Amino acid sequence: MAAATPDGVSASPAPRWAWGVFLLALLVHLAVGAVGWDHRVIQDDVSAFRQAQTALSTYWMLGHRYRLDYETPVFGPPWSMPYELPLYQWLVAGLATLTGWSLDPSGRAVAEAFFLLTLVPCWSLLRRLGVGPRERLLALSLLLVSPFYLFWSRAFLIESTALFLALSYLAAAWAFLDRPRPAPFVAALSLGVLAALVKITTCAAAWLALGLLLPGMLLRPGRGWRAVAWLVLVGVPLAAGVLWTHWADSLKEQNPFARHLTSRALHEWNFGTSSQRWQWQTWGYVLARSPAMARQGIVLAACLLLMPLTRRYRAAVAACVFIHLALPLVFTNLYSMHEYYAFASMVFQVGAVALTVAGLMERGGWRAGLGGGVAAAFVLLAGHDYLTAYYPIQAADHVESAAVCRAVREKTDPEDVIVVLGCDWSSEVPYYSRRRALMVPFWESTPVSDLPRYLERLRGYRTGGLVLRRNQVHGEKLERVLRDLRDGGLVAEPGFEDEMFTLYTLRPADD
């Protein structure tokens, strides 16, 4: 009989074959992540908007002191419109500065590093659930080869940073509530505050898990101090996240464009509507947006059917499924509109599968074979789904705007501001042009007919170029834009044109 640690977890080391499986999964993950490593962060519009926005903020940190009110210069002055604590962006800027790497691979490297670091709190959480070393290694292997994380873990996004912080916070908080000591309390409080400041919607996963842990903690001796500690460990990070949001909103209110992006203005965008929340169509899109996500969901459904056979992990499997579904239930529209938001929830889907496999394998006999079969099915489907759904996107280099961005860099000065019309407020053109921008997103509240008023906000800055997306600005609209520029004292001269974009260089009429 295997020896056990005081908390009941088997002390027997994992067999060599389990370590071999884990190392193979790690090598596969790293090899897949290297595909398209030097490509632009714009990938077939799958996440172009948010990746370019994160990258643009990071670019304007290079060579400048790090500030909480960091710039995302797409709406004219004042240039600051913060969303999250820019921990990820600071680290990317620091890496690019220290190594001399370009920004795109630096962003991918930091994102990938945080995803791999997430294996540490995952190991700790599995251990607290009583999972043995062999099954823990297999669980981490499944996470490494998940097609969703093969693709999204190396995106120029804050998602892996937020997930690492949230799961580390959960692991430290659980450790303290289980056995009170100063170190895990300080770690949990610090990590919780950071997690809430970096991405509060991801930190919500940790809060849900801590909520599920609370009833069991209150049944143990010392329920009084545990209840107080739980309130502190949840309340302080939550308060920090709320205060940050209010502060960020106050900065957005200073810009007539950005004030439409405050938390109050985006309440329905973030949470969705009641009718949307209970529509089958919404959940079909959230859980089966792509064939890859749908097939991983089928494996999860099979694990739910097998859950009665797992014995001691049944509650943990149910908890993982609950969190996986509860996050999109709360942030319905965000999960419906953006696939990358599932970065916070898919880990619990993989966790439910991994715990089912662990429960079956621990029972031995034919159940162990069944568990191995579930793991093999997950891996085979993962390979197929990555190759068919994600590899074509990752291997392609999206260069639609490359030529016009190069033209902007050649025909304008680095200190110039450019005006961009027809691209909503996507940061793609400003980022790859390396220029601050005034973008008019054509919202009902910001019509292009008010362009003269918007240009007034650029007084004191040199406006060097006008970039137009041709299918959005043409005919009478184009004529009106050029007329408004003339009336504003700017002469527009054709500078570049291709199938998608037109660039006009701008100079003052009296030059």
When pLDDT is cut at 50, 70 and 90, the band that residue 4 belongs to is: very low
When pLDDT is cut at 50, 70 and 90, the band that residue 6 belongs to is: very low
pLDDT at 293: 76
Residues 238 and 244: their CA atoms lie apart, in Å, by 10
Q: Which residue in this structure is represented by tokens 């998940």?
A: 146
In this predicted model, what pLDDT tens digit does every residue of 50-80 receive, in sequence order? Answer: 999 999 999 999 988 889 999 999 999 999 9
Q: Is the pLDDT of residue 115 over 90?
A: yes
pLDDT at 43: 64
pLDDT at 324: 94
When pLDDT is cut at 50, 70 and 90, the band that residue 413 belongs to is: very high
If you average pLDDT over every residue of the chain, what do you get? 91
When pLDDT is cut at 50, 70 and 90, the band that residue 309 belongs to is: confident
In this predicted model, what pLDDT tens digit does every residue of 437-451 receive, in sequence order? Answer: 999 988 888 888 888
Half-sphere exposure (Cβ direction) of 143: Cα atoms closer than 13 Å: 28
Q: Is the pLDDT of residue 8 over 60?
A: no
User: Domain residue spans in the chain?
Assistant: 16-395, 402-508
pLDDT higher at 369 or 285:
369
pLDDT at 3: 44
pLDDT higher at 28 or 283:
28
Supply the DSSP symbol for 388. I
When pLDDT is cut at 50, 70 and 90, the band that residue 220 belongs to is: confident
CB 504 within 8 A of CB 493: yes
Which candidate, 163, 138, 168, 141, places its Cα nearest to that of 152? Answer: 163
pLDDT at 129: 95
- Specify whether the backbone of 434 is left (phi greater than 0), alpha (psi in -120 to 50) or beta: left
Structurally, at CATH architecture level, domain 402-508 sits in 3-Layer(aba) Sandwich (3.40)
pLDDT higher at 138 or 286:
138
Residues 207 and 201: their CA atoms lie apart, in Å, by 10
Mean pLDDT for the stretch of residues 208-214: 96
Supply the DSSP symbol for 446. S
